[in-house]
Amino acid sequence: MGKTTEMKYLFEPRSVAIIGASSSPDKIGYKIVENIKASGYKGKVFPINPKGGEILGYEVFPNIEDVKDDIDIAVISIPAKFVFDSLSGCAKKRVKFLLIIASGFSEIGNLEEEQKIVQYARQNGMRVLGPNIFGIFSASAPINATFGPKYIKSGSVAIITQSGALGVAMIGKTSAERIGLSAIVSVGNKSDIDEADLLEYLGSHKDTKVILMYIEGVKNGEKLISALYKVTKVKPVIAIKAGRSKRGAIAAASHTGSLAGSDEIFSDVMKQCGVLRAETIQEALNWSKFLATSPKPKGEDAVIITNGGGVGVIATDACEKFGVNLYDNLNDLKVTFSEVVPQFGSVKNPVDLTGQATILDYEKALQASLKSKSINSIICLFCETATFDANDFIGSLKNLSSNARFTKPVAFALFGGEKVESAVASLKREGFSAFTEVYEAVSSLGALYSHYRIAKELASQQSAEQELQKLSIDMDAISEIINIAKQEKRSFLFQNEAQAVMKAAGIRTPKTFIAKSLEEAVLFAERIGYPVVMKVVSRDILHKSDVGGVMLDLQTKEEVIDAYQVIMHNCKRRAPSARIDGIEIAEMIKGGVEVIAGARRDGAFGPIVMFGLGGKYVEVMKDVSFRAFPLTKREALKMISETKAYSLLLGTRGEERKDISSLIDAILKVGTILCKSKDISDIEINPLLIYDEGEGACALDIRVMLKPQGD
């Protein structure tokens, strides 16, 4: 296999060949040459077409092998069925990157041809971008090797897009929004190069301040996770994901599987990696611009300056929603703003300059906020009034920013009619972060703060692997248990085996025995002490309650005898062909908060863990959150705190706080067992009872599923 080539030459190629370059202006092969030329590309351009001649002043070579110079990238714009045959010339020329524009591959089910191309490319040391792409624009080169718009505004936002049409539209939209791009890369079918490869380059690319990704599906999630961890520490990554499909999860055997809709996992994993997930394209673009142009905040405290109480309240609500902390030191606010705010205004945050505020009042308030040592960011709101023209903001802010420099993040929201809207457009043109909607301004500042916190946290986080090494789990004992199940060709562990797995990991389980007869059942019940629980043990019955195979809270010997007979009767009637391996007699455990903790292998992201409110109704309540594994204790706590179950664990209505550290321990242990045992596909504890702080946790029901043998 060929050596992987550095991504640098994809973004900064020294030479480019266009296979399928055409002199017909309506063809993509012409458009690409035209765009490369218009972008002021300084490298060498080699159009390739059997007809030879000249296109836009460039000499056309009949065959790529006729080119004497080295070639970094080859943009291939010929129909899908001819692409493979064109590769041998590229291989001979040792082309580094193949950018395959053509559609007609895996996206229409033609996976075989795509794989053939990738395999050949790899064998010959070439990397493939696409197929099914519109190309690449990179401001560093500069090169516009796309068939999209001719002129692309340079700047500091990089876009990676899986959708071609949306990508091309985003070029237009970013230009309309005055957002400059450092790069835009179409990844199409991601047959080889994917987001992770590109993040590697863009993460350390100094002209790229923000990375925006439009993703439809993740193929190699583990690679993406590790790339993201590296990048989000240093610069913001914003993601928009389409495709909220739950396909694939439906057939899963465990709750962890069926609750794990692809979108839920994507969302939670992105959060874990510090990615900012935008709901809409507009929101993503707002954030991109704000984060690319705004100075970094030095602290959390924000101030709202407004001329209207109403928008001030809306902004206050928005601050809560988007995690913006409002500065509330009244004394300091009074000192800072008392000279600016009229008597009937308010120096509390929101600072209300009142409806009679003039541009001068705004200037003073902004200056005071910029000067203040305690205020770290500013939300400046304006409601159209008769007192002054919104356009006054333009000159005033230009003045203010050139004198005092905006050393702090400032988000403006100006609300009103046509004049106000045109003032906002002018402010945008001047490079200010201005919006016509209060929520847009606050959500942008919120995104900036999210990144600020993420970067700080990731920088100080110790590696998950280091933390997990401290867990003591007897993997040899677990392997022995699994081997028995494998020998018996079972795809799951019996409850007593699953309990032994928990024991090997130091997770408490109820005292349990398996009775093979009624006499044994009574004997074990007496040994454990009443009350007890009885459950059928059968390799053919996975959902025991559904067949009437579970009896709880049995207080006496007589009740145990009755329960034994009822369970046997129910199973014979409702699952007549099931083999009964015995009846489990277990200590009846009460109290504690019932939660679910699970781990499984996700098709896209590899090992994942799940936490949520437990019990019978998990799938109805859907109060769950996910994380990719490995993860740190701190991240596990975050995952727990995202659910409603968290408030139960903190202790509601006068109850004691529960043993959250035992819960974290259990989550990390199930994840570790799954990762270390290649045979396990799912582990799930439901319910896992969490007792009061210091009293630990107890795994009541455990399900361990094995991968189909031969996998």
Residues that bind ligand COA (CB under 6 A): 19-20, 22-24, 27-29, 48-51, 77-79, 82, 86, 101-104, 132-134, 164, 186
- Three-state SS for 613? strand
Q: Which is nearer to ligand COA, 22 or 632 (CB)?
A: 22
Q: State the Cα–Cα distance between residues 555 and 568, nearest whole angstrom.
A: 19
Helices (H), ranges, 575-626? 618-621
Respond yes or no on whether the N-terminal peptide bond of residue 25 is cis (omega within 30° of 0): no
Q: Which is nearer to ligand COA, 49 or 138 (CB)?
A: 49
Residue labelled with tokens 């046997």: 568
Q: State the Cα–Cα distance between residues 18 and 83, nearest whole angstrom.
A: 12
Q: State the Cα–Cα distance between residues 35 and 75, nearest whole angstrom.
A: 13
Q: Which is nearer to ligand COA, 76 or 521 (CB)?
A: 76
- Three-state SS for 504? helix
- Three-state SS for 364? helix
Q: Which is nearer to ligand COA, 104 or 606 (CB)?
A: 104
CB-CB contact of 129 with 98 (8 Å): yes
Q: Which is nearer to ligand COA, 86 or 496 (CB)?
A: 86
* Geometric angle at alpha carbon 375, from 369 and 376, rounded to 5°: 110
Q: State the Cα–Cα distance between residues 478 and 677, nearest whole angstrom.
A: 8
Least distance to ligand COA from the beta carbon of 95, Å?
A: 13
- Three-state SS for 34? helix
Least distance to ligand COA from the beta carbon of 289, Å?
A: 24
Q: State the Cα–Cα distance between residues 257 and 264, nearest whole angstrom.
A: 11
CB-CB contact of 2 with 32 (8 Å): no
Could you count the other beta carbons within 10 Å of the beta carbon of residue 155?
22
Least distance to ligand COA from the beta carbon of 114, Å?
A: 13
Query: What phi, psi does 204 have (nearest 5°)?
Result: -110, 10
Q: Which is nearer to ligand COA, 118 or 390 (CB)?
A: 118
Nearest residue to 550 via CA among 566, 530, 561, 539: 566
Least distance to ligand COA from the beta carbon of 100, Å?
A: 8
For residue 255, give both structure tokens.
């709750």
Least distance to ligand COA from the beta carbon of 82, Å?
A: 5
Question: Which residues does residue 625 pair with via DSSP β-bridges, in sequence order?
Answer: 611
Could you count the other beta carbons within 10 Å of the beta carbon of residue 365?
25
Q: How far is CA 296 from the centre of its chain?
A: 23
Residue type for 211, please?
Answer: I
Q: What is the chain's Cα-based Rg?
A: 31
Least distance to ligand COA from the beta carbon of 11, Å?
A: 19
Cβ-closest position to ligand COA: 164
Least distance to ligand COA from the beta carbon of 19, Å?
A: 5
Q: State the Cα–Cα distance between residues 214 and 161, nearest whole angstrom.
A: 5
Cα within 13 Å of Cα(107), Cβ side? 19
Least distance to ligand COA from the beta carbon of 148, Å?
A: 9
Least distance to ligand COA from the beta carbon of 182, Å?
A: 20
Give the E-state strand segments of 188-345 in sequence order. Answer: 210-215, 237-241, 276-277, 301-306, 325-326
Angle, helices 633-641/262-272, rounded to nearest 10 degrees: 130
For residue 155, give both structure tokens.
């700047």
Question: Which residues does residue 211 pair with via DSSP β-bridges, in sequence order?
Answer: 158, 237
Q: Which is nearer to ligand COA, 22 or 182 (CB)?
A: 22
Least distance to ligand COA from the beta carbon of 181, Å?
A: 17
Burial 543-564 (b: 16+ CB within 10 A, else e): ebeebbbbbeebeeeebbbebb
Between strands 301-306 and 512-515, the pairing is unpaired
DSSP state of 274: T
Please, which residues have CB within 8 angstroms of residue 707's CB and are 6 or more apart in sequence?
678, 679, 680, 681
Q: Which is nearer to ligand COA, 25 or 654 (CB)?
A: 25
Least distance to ligand COA from the beta carbon of 98, Å?
A: 13
Least distance to ligand COA from the beta carbon of 77, Å?
A: 5
Least distance to ligand COA from the beta carbon of 185, Å?
A: 11
Least distance to ligand COA from the beta carbon of 159, Å?
A: 13
Nearest residue to 265 via CA among 519, 628, 661: 628
Least distance to ligand COA from the beta carbon of 94, Å?
A: 18
